[in-house]
Amino acid sequence: MKQIEVLDTTLRDGAQGAGISFSLQDKLNIVSSLDKLGIPIIEAGNPASNESEREFFRRLKDMPINASISAFGSTRHKNSSADSDEGLIKLLSAQTPYVSIFGKANAEDVHSVLGTSLEENLRMIYESVRLLLGEGRRVIFDAEHFFDGYLQDGEYALAAITAAHEAGAETICLCDTNGGRLPSEIYEIISRLKSMGFRLGMHAHDDIGCGVANTISAIQAGAFHVQGTLLGMGERCGNANLSAIIPTIMLKLNMDCIPSQKLSLLTKQARTVAEIANVILPANLPYIGKMAFAHKAGMHIDALNKRPGAFEHIKPEIVGNKRRILLSELSGRSAVLKKLSVIAPELTKDAEITGALTDRLKELEAEGYQFEGADASFELLVQRELGNLNEYFTLEKFKVIEEQVTGKSRTASSAMLKLSVGNQSELTAAEGNGPVDALDEALRKALERFYPAIVDMHLVDYKVRVLDSKSATGARVRVLIESSDGKNYWVTVGVSSDIIEASAIALVESMVYKLYKDEKYS
């Protein structure tokens, strides 16, 4: 079976995405997650950029990981020698088994960006690779702007990668740096080149939404090496998304790239990286998104009841995800039963509780509740109807205050509340970054002495929808809150004519769900 080599560049190219900033510990944690997934090569960054990066490389030496680390840099500067080039010296100082260096493969960029001759650029490529190879490194040459350069001046683009190959580069990685090329173009060009004896790789960006498709086309054309970021993070529109590429290689192309037993960890590790990066994953991401295997249409749900693989291209468990049945005002007993089969598999379609739950769902949805994106609230609803749920605590009253801070152009939010746990009461207050955050802080502060595990959870996302715009300020609102304890994610819902009350309902539900799950699996 053909083996495809995967290089993850989340820590280098991914870190260039807007809003992405990794601490040293973040980087170490991401390396750990990528290693658990079985990524063979992790591009850790550029040791020439700053001292923090160099410290990161020093720390990596002590990490017990199976992955190989690659340092990233550029070819030597123009009109200088490779052995005295500061960037190459720092690249070598990282002492990584792999080094990735980029060089210009577009003749126009050589003149306009580097400001040097075509011949000097070829020498820069050759001499840089030779130096690194002579120091015992395995060299990956990233041919920057290769495809654009090939279409403008194919002869020179070939000369650039030939220089790297003749110098001893192990892999020639062709870069669609601007992310504007089509899969057909990628396939055609790599098909032409594969007879030249190069070990070819692909580095794609996603500026026209073809990053994954271009990577797959490159493999089909003969590429052995692919690069990307686990979540598609990166500059502009991002890089090719490895969370889609890896399972496609293994499940659709029937090739190897990570150990087969690791594939079921994909969703978990991708979401772990998202948590570290503080990014919210789109629900519709292929393979790993919360809605990647979600079903709402009654016909689809009925088909799933009859054949589990209906309307799914793979079993979600293969990539560590799960099937979701979405409930809406259109849901009938078949949809409810399918949803119930996970929570209470003993229930039948004709059971009294099934009908009661169906009726209760419709009552709540008439009030504005929507459970298609709030699995946690639905599970709590079922357990309450079955009499299986300990409510853990009661929120008796609360008050949220927003005050102007003296001498500053901002407001401060604080929350006061009283709750009871059994026959014990707790009165507390907390400040927060906005009224919902203040209420969240106060709830967790009040519950901490009763349920210490509550401190592990935090609010991940908050959504508000006005349900009846005709009612203006009197409209009801639906609040969806996504929470996490660092291991799992869940969504709860609250509805009220008051946005703070709706938020409080959803927050209480989120904490009850956390406590319920901890108790269930303890």
CA–CA separation, 398 vs 381, rounded Å? Answer: 23
pLDDT tens digits for the chain (522 residues)?
A: 799 999 999 999 988 988 888 889 999 999 999 999 999 999 998 988 888 888 999 999 889 999 999 999 999 999 899 999 999 999 999 999 999 999 999 999 999 999 999 999 999 999 999 999 999 999 999 999 999 999 999 999 999 999 999 999 999 999 999 999 999 999 999 999 988 889 999 999 999 999 999 999 999 999 999 999 999 999 999 999 999 999 999 999 999 999 999 999 999 999 889 988 888 888 899 999 988 887 766 566 666 666 676 777 899 999 999 877 766 554 555 566 666 666 776 766 667 777 777 778 778 877 888 776 788 888 898 888 888 888 899 999 999 988 766 555 566 789 999 999 999 999 999 988 888 889 999 999 999 999 999 988 888 888 888 876 444 445 688 899 999 888 888 999 999 988 999 999 999 999 999 999 988 876
CA 5 to chain centre: 21
- State how far the alpha carbon of 8 is from the alpha carbons of 42, 196, 289, 356, 431, in Å: 5, 26, 20, 50, 40
pTM of the model: 0.73
pLDDT at 472: 43
- Choose among 66, 7, 34, 71: nearest CA to 257: 7
pLDDT at 473: 46
pLDDT at 471: 46
Q: In what order do the strands lie in the sheet with 489-496?
A: 458-466, 477-484, 489-496
Bridge partners of residue 395, in order along the sequence: 419
CA 286 to chain centre: 11
pLDDT at 281: 83
Q: Strand 41-45 to strand 68-74: parallel, antiparallel, or no bridges (unpaired)? A: parallel
pLDDT at 86: 92
CA–CA separation, 16 vs 277, rounded Å? Answer: 12
DSSP-assigned states of every residue in 424-443: EEEEEEEEESSHHHHHHHHH
pLDDT at 5: 98
pLDDT at 521: 78
Q: Which domains does the chain have, with CATH numbers?
A: 5-277 (3.20.20.70), 294-386 (no CATH), 394-520 (3.30.160.270)
CA–CA separation, 164 vs 120, rounded Å? Answer: 13
